[in-house]
Amino acid sequence: MANLTPQQRQLVEQWAAEGANLNQIQDRLRSECETTLTYMETRLLIMELGVKIQDKPRDVPPEETPVPAPAEAAADGEVAVADEAAAGSASALKVSVDEVPVAGAVISGRASFSDGVTVQWFMDEQGRFGMRGPAAGYQPPAADIPVFQAELDNILQLRGF
């Protein structure tokens, strides 16, 4: 591990208490203490010292219009959400979750949009979201996107993501 003097260790603890993140601590070690550590070494040093890095304050998201509560899940895991823009029509957004995620994904499923097109959606281990449509460049109807996002967010929260 890093061979830091007790004074340097105190400096690291002080910087963390002042709200410095790992990158800032790493940079200050290099510039002020002439000690070069990798990001991982800096992270391990913080753990070794028992220092808690303060989380950034999160911005409060702007108030959104209330999203209708999602419908109950059917036995096959499919959820139907009425599309507000298509009120009065027979079209609805349907989102389902695969029992076994597709390769490379931690969770996946299908979404049927109000235009009748079904796409596959997935989230990988880094939390990156993706969709595969029937044709390259497919864009879901604009009115379906906020409803789909809200439903997907609800599904991910219910499943611990």
Q: Point out the least confidently predicted range of 47-51, 63-67, 95-99, 108-112.
A: 63-67
Structure tokens that stand for 128 in this block: 């990156």
| Domain ranges within the chain, ordered by starting residue | 6-49, 78-158
The number of C-alpha atoms within 13 Å of 22 and in the hemisphere containing its C-beta is 13
Q: Which residues have C-beta within 8 Å of that of residue 140, sequence separation ≥ 6?
A: 111, 113, 115, 117, 119, 148
Of 49, 42, 41, 50, the closest CA to residue 9 belongs to 49
User: Which of the four pLDDT bands, split at 50, 70 and 90, describes residue 16?
Assistant: confident
Q: What's residue 108's pLDDT?
A: 92
Residue 133 and residue 145: Cα distance in Å, rounded? 14
pTM (2 d.p.): 0.44
pLDDT tens across 71-102, in order?
A: 444 444 555 444 444 443 335 788 889 888 88
Residue 104 and residue 124: Cα distance in Å, rounded? 6
157 or 91: which carries more pLDDT confidence? 157
Q: For the chain, what is the mean pLDDT? A: 78
